Chains A and B, each alone.
Chain A
Amino acid sequence: MNFTGIIQYWIGKDPAALDRIDSRRKVMREFCSTTAKLVATTLPFTLGALFNKAYGQSNTQITDVLNYALTLEYLESEFYKSGLDAGVVPAGTPAENAIKTIRDHEMAHVSFLSTVLQSMNVTPVTKPDFDFTAGGTFSDVFTNYDTFLAVAQTFEDTGVRAYKGSAGDLISNNTVLTATLQIHSVEARHASHIRQMRKARGTLLKPWVTGNDIGGVGAAVQFSYDGEENVVQGGVDISALVSDNSATEAFDEPLGPDQIMAILSPFFIP
């Protein structure tokens, strides 16, 4: 694995970017800052000047996160496009419609994030090259429908964790924060449905993540689920309130950029 190469590919040939987008390596803005904020519902997405209102976090930091998100969306959109092109999804079925819906969302995310980056005068990263077999781990990903769905589930569940892990890095820019959270919950909707699709094909699975259960996808994706077994939230032991399983399901857990990159690196061709 050429880690440096992947970082450069991901973050616009700038390895230092990883430091800037990892919340654990920097100090959050001051509590109770009097930053002016926008009201959510009045958010007809006004591009341009709005995006340049970065306060405690530098514009570079914000746009690094956006390029990181864009890279993830390229991964997902290319995956669904390739799968549909390869005919791995049974044609003329509800499943095909669902995958097309998800593909269209991921493509819309690519377009949206690119537009936002351009409005902030930053060049969006170019589309990376992908190996969706992850070096042969999922060698039949575009010929075996079950493998395709398994990889899809991993991408969606991992994507949810990635967006969640970056939200804190966007706290100073309300517009970008809100928009990326609106993407985040769409990815969670996708994950829910993909899991139901796999369940319909015989995998014991729920729409939510139980413990760090990988849903039979294979040990290669364990890192995408590790940490989801957490039952303590904000100092409260949730397992004292509901069953252990429900306690883990009720809260999805974040992952930082370096963890996400380690997980997804096998899918990138540096």
Chain B
Amino acid sequence: MNQYKRNGRRDFLLTGFTAGVAGITFLACNKDDDDPANKPPEGSIDLGKGDTGILNYAFALEQLEAAFYMQVIASPFTGMTADERMLLMDIRDHEIAHRDFFKMALGTNAVPMLETDFSVVDFSNRDSVLSTAKTFEDLGVSAYNGAAQLIQNADYLMLAGKIVSVEARHAALIRDLISNGTFADGTAVNSDGLDLVNDPLTVLAAAAPFLKSKIWAGNLPNS
């Protein structure tokens, strides 16, 4: 495959998915099935329970990232170089691939498309865009690293593993665009050489300012 071959841009605002395409079947681990306390607050979106909940959690984060980079490319910041545009378009397309993968894999278990709120981002400003991108990419890495242990099914664990290293490649690149050499500095990697890790509640709290939709994670596995 020629890495410089580019397919014609497709319409990424995918409006519908064919039901039943995904080869993954979902079996919930119904630890909390009969607990009436586990009801989402009015107006919030319940990620669900078990592995389905974790995959919806990933789906939500990928929605956020994809929407962000779509806006980045739609309204490029002042002075965006051709190289930066190429890299950011790649990242956009990777996030779209992740988002749509989860949507199709989850099928009828998927949470709805989320409403985002990027009002704090100045898309015309390189620093604003890249610092937000850094937040999202580092957050994504920490989210997948933290969610892995909550996954029951080894196939899903593998899929998360396939994605998290790509998010880490993004994170390193974005950091290097901000300041070359910061791809894995002390704010990302600790003295044991270990990357960021966060649990879902921490990640969702960090993501909340960028989402109009309210996400409820009360049924996610916490062990």
Contact = CB atoms under 8 A, between A and B. Distances in A.
Nearest to A106: B193
Max chain A CB contacts within 10 Å: which of B22, B104, B172? B172
Interface string B158-189: 11011111111111110010001101110011
B90 A192 contact: no
A177 B148 contact: yes
A233 B23 CA distance: 9
> Interface size for chain A: under 10, 10 to 19, 20 to 34, or 35 or more residues?
35 or more
A244 B1 CA distance: 9
B181 A94 contact: yes
A238 B155 contact: no
B152 interface: yes
A162 to B, nearest CB: 11
Nearest to B183: A193
A198 interface: no
Nearest to A182: B194
A186 B195 contact: yes
Max chain B CB contacts within 10 Å: which of A184, A238, A242, A248? A242
B171 A45 contact: no
Nearest to B159: A234
B97 interface: yes
Given A40-B197, A184-B165, A242-B97, A210 B3 contact: yes
A101 B152 contact: no
Contact of B141 (A109, A179, A185): A185
Interface string B198-223: 11001000000000000000000111
> Interface size for chain B: under 10, 10 to 19, 20 to 34, or 35 or more residues?
35 or more
B149 interface: yes
B169 A189 contact: yes
Contact of B14 (A112, A211, A241): A241
B16 to A, nearest CB: 13
Contact of A212 (B1, B87, B154, B158): B1
Interface of B: 1, 3-7, 10, 12, 14, 21-24, 27, 29, 31, 50, 87, 90, 93-94, 96-98, 100-101, 104-105, 141, 144-155, 157-159, 161-173, 176, 180-181, 183-185, 188-189, 191-199, 202, 221-223
Interface of A: 23, 28, 31-34, 36-43, 45, 94, 97-98, 101-102, 104-109, 111-112, 160, 163-164, 167-168, 171, 174, 177-179, 181-193, 196, 204, 206-208, 210-213, 229, 233-236, 238, 241-254
